[in-house]
Amino acid sequence: MLTDAIQPIPLPENVLSLSVSQRAWNGVGVCVADFHCKGRVVHRLPYETEFRLSVVLEEVGGRCEPRLRENKPCAIAHFPRHMHFAPAGHESWGYSDDIRYVKDATLTFNLAVLGERMGTAIDTTASTTPRLRFSDDRLWSLVRLLSDAMHDPDPSAQLYGDGLTAAIAARLFADRSASIPEKVSGLSQWQLRRVIEYLDAHLPQHVDLADLAAVANLSQSHFSRAFKVSTGMAPYRWQLDARIRRAQALLLDTHSTLDQVAEATGFADAVHFGRTFRKLTGATPAAWRNDRKR
């Protein structure tokens, strides 16, 4: 569920405005915040009772600095696309001597369920030790994609976000001392059949990655890789393609309007439907239908 709010509480020093969007995927809380600031800013970061990853997506007019104590500067030099990780029970602070605008994303994790969902060991060293200003381009890119999907109402955004959060958690917490896993094979015939039947039965509704993995009796990370080996697509992309295929059938076999086809296949409106249809097929729905009229 997505919520947007302008914080009603008193703002930190020299923060002019703060806009917050929150959503959860796969049991991972995601909070994207936009700060407009002027001058020195120092504030205690939220979610101290949870394991959290904070990622700076944009910083304008200054540099953000994570701290473990309010008056203890970070010893690690600034670099672009930095992030920091704080274990549950550890306080952390955000500081800048002169910043104009900041956009950041904070992800919160429940480690009690992560290991079961990922089907892999949790790196206990990584999960109990704070990490200030570390760099991981792959992790940063995954979080950026997740933040871009915050306001996407499309049903396939559920599987998309589930997949991203699973990949983020695996990269952040996977036990680096564990042996390298064997190459993942595809789903068995019965697994693929049951998963496709489940997707078809729930089209075009929101579907959770956890539910698909349970149908195949696999962990989420194993299932996502095996599904892609078998189909050549990530689960969210398969679902999106299936919705477009259903839309094509409606365009050919009925006289439904574009609004009616959009509603039947889970798109917000005809504009959203048309944009997605053209992206995947190379033609607008109307042109595609006209080209195939007999």
Q: What is the pLDDT of residues 48-84, one digit of tens each?
A: 999 999 999 999 888 899 999 999 999 998 888 899 9
Q: What is the pLDDT of residues 195-227, one digit of tens each?
A: 999 999 999 999 999 999 999 999 888 899 999
Largest CA distance in the chain: 75
Quickly count: other Cβ atoms within 10 Å of residue 128's Cβ.
Answer: 13
Superfamily in which the 3-171 domain is placed by CATH:
Jelly Rolls (2.60.120.10)
| 101, pLDDT greater than 70 | yes
How far is it, in rounded angstroms, from Cα 145 to Cα 32?
A: 12
* Tokens describing residue 57: 């997506």
Of 11, 102, 93, the C-alpha closest to 46 is 93
DSSP letters for 207-229? --HHHHHHHTTS-HHHHHHHHHH
Q: 89: left (phi > 0), else alpha (psi -120 to 50), else beta? A: left
Q: What is the pLDDT of residues 233-252, one digit of tens each?
A: 999 999 999 999 999 999 98
Band the pLDDT of 103: cuts 50, 70, 90: very high
pTM score, whole prediction? 0.84
Contact by Cβ (8 Å): 13, 40: yes
Band the pLDDT of 6: cuts 50, 70, 90: very low
Q: Where are the domains of the chain?
A: 3-171, 179-294
How far is it, in rounded angstroms, from Cα 125 to Cα 174?
A: 11
Phi and psi angles of residue 44, each rounded to the nearest 5 degrees, phi first: -80, 130
CATH 1.10.10.60 describes domain 179-294: yes
Contact by Cβ (8 Å): 85, 130: yes
Band the pLDDT of 125: cuts 50, 70, 90: low
Residue 176's pLDDT is 52
Contacts of 124 (CB under 8 A, 6+ apart): 175
